[in-house]
Structure 1
Amino acid sequence: MSKPSAGAPAALPGLDAVRRAFYEWARTDGTTWIYIAKVLIAAFLTMWLAMRLELPQPSTACVTVFIVMQPQSGQVFAKSFYRLLGTLIGLSVMIVLIALFAQERVLFLLTAAIWIGLCTAGAARYRDFRAYACVLAGYTATLIGVPATTHPETAFMQAIWRVMEISLGIGCATLISAVLLPQTTTAALRNALYVRFGTFVAFMFDSLNLKLDRRAFVAGNVRFASEAVGLEAMRTAGAFEDPHTRLRSRRLARLNSEFMTLTTRFHALHQLRERLRTHGQELLLAKLRPCVEPLEALLVPLSERPLTVPDAERLAQHLGGLRDDLRSRIRSARRELGDVSADTLLDFDSAAELLYRLVDDLYNYAQTHASLGAHHHEREQWEQEFTTKANPLAAAVSGLRAALVILLFGAFWIYSAWPSGGMFALNAVAIMALVSSSPNPPRTAMQMAQGTALAAIFGIFIGLFVLPRIDGFVLLCLVMAPVFALGAFLSTRPRWAGVGPGLLIFFCVGSLPANHTVFDPAGLFNTYIAMLLSMIISAAVIAVVLPPNAPWMWRRLERDLRLRIRYAVSGPMHNLVTGFESGTRDLVVQAYGLAASNPEVQRNLLRWMFLVLEVGHAVIELRRDQADLPHTPAYAADTPWRQANRALGRALVRLFTQPTADNRLRAVCAVQQSIAAAQAAAEPYELHFERAPIRRVLSYLHFIRSSLLDPQSPLPPLPAAPAPLPSPPEPEPRHAA
């Protein structure tokens, strides 16, 4: 065959190539343009209905559309529900305040500031859809209450109109999101669940085969922590849109909890292997290798592959058999160790226990994943809850800051008699509440100020030179469409996430014509000046008055992270595992985002997270094993080894509350004494892998000791000449597996 000449034109792409390119575009940029189209359709439908129904402020309905509209329909439903709930609460409170203080604006502002401060503190506390309800409860109260101070007789009707306008916006947004090319949260949740396990399996293999450096290993753990928090939000949103998701809600929560436990267990095993390798325990690792190989062989086909329900069923069956086989392999490997020291035996027992528990965790995860194929399943019986954590002082500071701002801005409005002073105070409340849960509130506030500046430019031009020259709803839509499309596009870009909402919301507030339209250039200028000034001043206040991303906040969150050990030691048993895992990860995700500009702080926070998870999880396993002990004298609560464990818990709480070198030494001594007491205890059963509660206790105690002695931990160095630690007694012959 002759080759085409160099100057010949390139052949046109075939139909298959065009189809593949279209599908690739549809999965990436196409979703953005679909979202923009849905925003435009929902906004124009809302605006048309609001004008046909002669609602006083169509802009309120359109603002609702822009606020609740999200790429996924489940998020739209969840946000709409909490927006309506927050609106009703805020209106109810404000009507009461107006009735009490209709003739006294000063007392009204004081009580309104207290309410707004409480709502803002609640938003900073929850940081999920409940936070949005808190935001709306404060913002709506101000939106109705501030204008009503001059005309209190209109407050009730304003509240009624407000509810109708918001309900209209919510109805249109949810309808368009669910009907027009829906992108469901349930589908995203299912895809995240299927893909996450394959990604974790690949991460396991790379870690076990030493293919990951320290930075990649840490990044992987941060990603899994963030995914756990994000999946909980998707589970909550998915329950609003899909009855099948509601039927499986508890199983999905259980699956997320089991995945968090699984990642913590593997991290503990990885850390112990690295410590053994650092101390030259290559022989011990070689003896453990035959125990690990069957697990690797079983999981290799699932690496980087979605885990479907049939795959999970087969995996659960294989893992059930592997658990039984692993016991015999561990016993054989322990016998092959021969005559070794007590510390070496503890190293082996700890590693073997973590490996066995890892397989058991995988088995539980596979069972729960497989149960998702049924509408009803016994694994739905799950009472543990994902628990978010927030620093109480930070939430209180956010509330106090918002209360002070509304007092200052309200006082300026009263004494200046500025016609747009109400808008000046109102927008300050809105910005303070909206950015209260942002990772970088000053930056978000400035971005919203930039969006407001764009809204002022477009709004003044359109309001003065375009709207007077058009007639009819179609032309109004054509004029508004470019601004709406630009705002929706900017809101999909993380770099400009604050600019888009600022442009959309405040363009509607300032320039969208009401049913009773008035051409008022002075009022238009005053409105945009008030909005822009309130944005800029609010951003400055957030950046100056105890900003949430300042070092004081990092230190508070780090302390809260360390205090998770107290929860592991003394928290309630009914939600101990999920409460500890979820709260710890939520704190890390918050702190990691706030410290985005300081990599050294981020690294230190991650080091504390790993140590807290390692020690806390071992403490929880100790508590669970001790709670399930048989009722025999050897396991009584007053035995020396049980008393030593309680003393160890107090020493760990003291260490993580005040991480000093002396407290670290005390904790190391306490765990040594616990190990010595447990080794001296008389086990009523023959010691082997299946039945030996004290052997398991020793494994976890030894792991806690290795974590406390790890030179890579963030704990302060031990004193130069520490007191001699008690040596554990040599094991009795029957202690062999």
Structure 2
Amino acid sequence: MTTSSSSAPALPGAFRRGLDEWAQSEGMTWAFIFKALLTAFIAQWLAYRLELPQANTVLATVFIVMQPESGQVLAKSFYRFLGTLLGLTVTVPLIALFAQERVLFLLCLALWIGVCTAGAARYRDFRGYGCVLAGYTAALIGLPAIAAPQGAFMQALWRVLEISLGILCSGLVSALILPQNSSTSLRRLLATRFRDFAGFASAALAGQLDGQRLEQLNARFAGEAVALDNLRNASAFEDPHFRLRSGRLGRLNHEFMVLSTRFHGLHQLLQRLQGEAGEQVRTALAPCLAGVGAVLAPLGQHLCREADAEVLALRLEGSQRELMQQIRAARRQLAAQQPSDEQLLDFNTAAEQLYRFTGDLHDYALTHASLRVHRHAREQWQDSFTPRANSLATAVTGMRSALLVLLLGGFWIATAWPSGETCVLTAAMVAGLVASAPSPRHQALKLLIGALGSALAGGLLQFWVLPWLDGFALLFCALAPVFAFGAWLLARSQTAGYGTGLLLWFCIVALPANLPAYDFQRLFNEYLAALLAIGLTTLSLALILPPDRPWLWRCLEHDLRMRVVFAVSGRLKGLGAGFESGTRDLLNQAQVSAVGRPEVQRRLQRWMFAVLEIGQAVIELRQEQARLPAEPCYGEGMPWQVAIRALGRALVRLFIQPDEGNRLRALAAVEQAIATVRQTPETRPPQFDSSPLRRVLSYLHFIRSSLLDPHSPLAAGSRWPVRLVD
């Protein structure tokens, strides 16, 4: 009896925990399906009630815009509406200019779709989706105008109204019914990212982290930096709390990128301290490293919230003073062993990197803690995340889609195929939808399979189910299983492509109009046109410079190397933020384009590490030069200033053409710069916090150690091994 009475209260608690777990996993999927069905019901009823010419455009808009999180829906809807207006603005003048010249009109339309598809490949976020819609809307309005230009203006207005209705229904249902906020995902990402960083940093400082794990985490952090910026933009649409903190969130993302780059540079510098001389330096630094690791270790055990960040910031203020004292004590201990000049320079550089790391950590903690209040001085952040894309890959994407639209459009005009308009429109839509996908060819293949499924479902409903029904309620009950299954596919990232193909072409081709007409020949031709267009688009992605092949990997590697050229010669204002964000965005693209090729991913990742190490040191060296005091020893014409400018030119040559000759010339240039800095007399005390030349010397030594690293890709040059390109 006692056992029974004691276990009875545990059942409701276990049930609640199980229910919470279900709500956070499968429950979210079912909530999304319910909202998709409700949105489709409202949008379709309104489209029929208002007697819109094409209810299928309304439903297609609903399923394109629908996302699991309301912030993503609102952001996507906003850019879809802007893209629609832009496409309308471009198409109407084209129709007016080339109403009687179908070939010229088709040529201009193909060029515009190519430009829009290139824009989608360039941005790869909600802005890219706006580019997709600008091209798709132009095709949606312009293609019917080839046969009937006199009705083009009214068709354009109807399309805008239909798209606006779909956007309105999606936004309202997503925001009001069982909302799943992007801000929640943003908070979770911030907390888990810093927890994982603190855990791996404390383990690395204690020498308990292998190099492969370090590379994996750094690659993950690069992808999360891109994801967090997208979440920040989406959260600003749905949550005024995060809209007021948008500047701080952008600043926090940048400070984390700087923090992770700094730690990677510190870790690599410590790894390069080999032999007996290096062991003496590491032994002297051990208490300093242990102190910083002790601060980070507890943070790796739990999620870090704003209150935890405030406590961390207060603790770091005291620990930074203690760290400076520990560094000076360690330097005295090392000096007692009569170290060489190189050992002393190694110690100073590593100690200053460690001290800067704690400073970066303190800045990050202050910004994170500032999220607790609505208004804060740290909101004044002018820099932004700057994505980068390879210009050649972007141009190839646009050229491929323009060529496909032009060829299919020419075939349509030459043969007068009744469904040629659908074929060209589908090709334009698919080219835009897959432009920013990790693997465009595989995504197009998923769309093809989904569209084939929609053809089977559409034929079954059109001729065996819908003719027997009467009234909107029964109609929607018949359509609901298709909508629910498609929404279930959309809710999972692995199957979202199949869901998009199923729902889009079911709505575009098989959805009955307000006055339905059951025409087998029309349905067959429309689906044949759609499937042919998707198949040809997939084939073009496989044959015309496919985007997951060695030519793109070489281009991305070149772009990564050119980030150092940007660090040397770019405008100093906003240089740090642009360098960090652009480099990580390029790595994220490289990781995605080389999925299944770990050796390629590893090579590109090593290039990113080399670029980040040297690029950050160059930028901080330039910033140090920009704030030098007005004293004779810091003048522009001083030999050490001339030597640093020569080093910049040598680094530019090295990263444009990384071979052994250029690496040796860069090493000679940095050695010359170090020698001239050492020979320059300075009136200030020779401490890190008071001597600019002391800090300059540390930056130069760090660049030299990176150039000397035998594991750096600079040591192997730029030639790709044959096994990576086969």
Q: Is the 8 A contact 2:206 2:289 kept in 1?
A: no
Matching residue of 2:300:
303
Of 324, 328, 332, the residue aligned with 1:327 is: 324
Residues of 2 paired with 1:296 and 1:212: CA distance? 13
Matching residue of 2:60:
63
Matching residue of 1:479:
478
Pairing of 1:692-711 with structure 2 (within 5 A): 692-711=691-710
1:601 aligns with 2:609: no
Matching residue of 1:184:
181
Residues of 2 paired with 1:13 and 1:500: CA distance? 41
Q: Is the 8 A contact 2:201 2:296 kept in 1?
A: no
Matching residue of 1:194:
191
Residues of 1 paired with 2:259 and 2:155: CA distance? 53
- Secondary structure, counterpart of 1:375 in structure 2: coil
Q: What's the CA shift for 1:183? A: 0.8
Q: What's the CA shift for 1:13? A: 8.2
Q: Is the 8 A contact 1:449 1:536 kept in 2?
A: yes
Q: Is the 8 A contact 1:46 1:169 kept in 2?
A: yes
Of 186, 201, 206, the residue aligned with 1:204 is: 201
- Secondary structure, counterpart of 1:276 in structure 2: coil
Matching residue of 2:400:
401
Pairing of 1:144-543 with structure 2 (within 5 A): 144-277=141-274, 281-338=278-335, 339-543=338-542
Of 531-540 and 320-329, deviating more is 320-329
Residues of 2 paired with 1:494 and 1:523: CA distance? 33
Q: Is the 8 A contact 1:312 1:370 kept in 2?
A: yes
Residues of 2 paired with 1:208 and 1:328: CA distance? 19
Matching residue of 1:122:
119
Q: What's the CA shift for 1:520? A: 1.2
* Structure 2: gaps (5+ residues): 718-726
Q: Are the structure 2 counterparts of residues 451 and 13 from structure 1 closer, same or farther at C-alpha, using a change threshold of 3 Å? A: farther
CA deviation profile, 1:510-534 (whole Å, cap 9, x unmatched): 1111113222111011100100011
1:52 aligns with 2:49: yes
CA deviation profile, 1:568-600 (whole Å, cap 9, x unmatched): 111111111110000000000001100113111
Q: Is the 8 A contact 2:489 2:495 kept in 1?
A: yes
Residues of 1 paired with 2:283 and 2:470: CA distance? 83
Tell me how many residue pairs correspond in the alignment: 713
CA deviation profile, 1:468-494 (whole Å, cap 9, x unmatched): 111111111211111111111112333
Q: What's the CA shift for 1:495? A: 2.5
- Secondary structure, counterpart of 1:456 in structure 2: helix
Pairing of 1:538-549 with structure 2 (within 5 A): 538-549=537-548
CA deviation profile, 1:411-432 (whole Å, cap 9, x unmatched): 1101111110110111011111
Residues of 2 paired with 1:135 and 1:445: CA distance? 15
Q: Give the counterpart letter for 1:512 in structure 2.
A: L
Residues of 1 paired with 2:104 and 2:515: CA distance? 33
- Secondary structure, counterpart of 1:385 in structure 2: coil
Q: What's the CA shift for 1:12? A: 12
Q: Is the 8 A contact 1:58 1:514 kept in 2?
A: yes
Q: What's the CA shift for 1:279? A: 6.5
Of 709-718 and 380-389, deviating more is 709-718
Q: Is the 8 A contact 1:56 1:516 kept in 2?
A: no
Residues of 2 paired with 1:289 and 1:265: CA distance? 18
Matching residue of 2:102:
105
Q: Are the structure 2 counterparts of residues 13 and 331 from structure 1 closer, same or farther at C-alpha, using a change threshold of 3 Å? A: closer
Q: Is the 8 A contact 1:327 1:689 kept in 2?
A: no
- Secondary structure, counterpart of 1:574 in structure 2: coil
Q: What's the CA shift for 1:278? A: 5.9
CA deviation profile, 1:414-459 (whole Å, cap 9, x unmatched): 1111110110111011111111111211111111001100011101
Of 131, 139, 144, the residue aligned with 1:142 is: 139
Q: What's the CA shift for 1:325? A: 2.3
Q: What's the CA shift for 1:341? A: 0.7
Residues of 2 paired with 1:496 and 1:239: CA distance? 28
1:569 aligns with 2:557: no
Q: What's the CA shift for 1:118? A: 1.1
Q: Are the structure 2 counterparts of residues 254 and 3 from structure 1 closer, same or farther at C-alpha, using a change threshold of 3 Å? A: closer
Matching residue of 1:731:
none
Of 258-267 and 509-518, deviating more is 509-518
CA deviation profile, 1:249-284 (whole Å, cap 9, x unmatched): 111100000000000000111111111146752221
Of 458-467 and 257-266, deviating more is 458-467
Residues of 2 paired with 1:304 and 1:158: CA distance? 59
CA deviation profile, 1:26-68 (whole Å, cap 9, x unmatched): 1111111111111111111110111111111111111111111
Q: What's the CA shift for 1:2? A: 12
CA deviation profile, 1:341-371 (whole Å, cap 9, x unmatched): 1110110011011000000001101111111
* Structure 1: gaps (5+ residues): 5-9, 719-737
Q: Is the 8 A contact 2:393 2:552 kept in 1?
A: yes
Matching residue of 2:723:
none
Taking only the aligned residue pairs, the percentage that are identical comes to 55
Residues of 2 paired with 1:64 and 1:348: CA distance? 61
Of 123-132 and 406-415, deviating more is 123-132
Q: Give the counterpart letter for 1:590 in structure 2.
A: Q
Q: Give the counterpart letter for 1:260 in structure 2.
A: M
CA deviation profile, 1:223-250 (whole Å, cap 9, x unmatched): 1111111000001111111112111111
Residues of 1 paired with 2:288 and 2:682: CA distance? 26
Residues of 2 paired with 1:567 and 1:123: CA distance? 24
Matching residue of 2:720:
none
Residues of 2 paired with 1:661 and 1:529: CA distance? 57
Residues of 1 paired with 2:147 and 2:42: CA distance? 33
Q: What's the CA shift for 1:15? A: 2.1
Q: Is the 8 A contact 1:312 1:366 kept in 2?
A: yes
Q: Is the 8 A contact 1:199 1:305 kept in 2?
A: no
- Secondary structure, counterpart of 2:636 in structure 1: coil
Q: Are the structure 2 counterparts of residues 420 and 380 from structure 1 closer, same or farther at C-alpha, using a change threshold of 3 Å? A: same
Of 269-278 and 175-184, deviating more is 269-278
Q: Give the counterpart letter for 2:407 in structure 1.
A: L
Matching residue of 1:686:
685
Q: Please, what TM-score do these two structures have when normalized by structure 2?
A: 0.96
Q: What's the CA shift for 1:716? A: 3.6
Residues of 2 paired with 1:583 and 1:375: CA distance? 29
Matching residue of 1:666:
665
Pairing of 1:596-675 with structure 2 (within 5 A): 596-675=595-674
Question: What CA RMSD, in Å, does the superposition of the two structures yield over aligned residues?
Answer: 1.7
Q: Give the counterpart letter for 1:359 in structure 2.
A: T
Q: Give the counterpart letter for 1:472 in structure 2.
A: G
Q: Are the structure 2 counterparts of residues 12 and 375 from structure 1 closer, same or farther at C-alpha, using a change threshold of 3 Å? A: closer
Q: Give the counterpart letter for 1:388 in structure 2.
A: P
- Secondary structure, counterpart of 1:573 in structure 2: coil
Residues of 2 paired with 1:279 and 1:155: CA distance? 80
Residues of 1 paired with 2:85 and 2:365: CA distance? 43
Q: What's the CA shift for 1:292? A: 2.4
CA deviation profile, 1:311-348 (whole Å, cap 9, x unmatched): 21221122112222222221221111122111101100
- Secondary structure, counterpart of 1:303 in structure 2: helix
CA deviation profile, 1:196-220 (whole Å, cap 9, x unmatched): 2121100111212232222211111
CA deviation profile, 1:525-560 (whole Å, cap 9, x unmatched): 110010001100110011101111121011001100
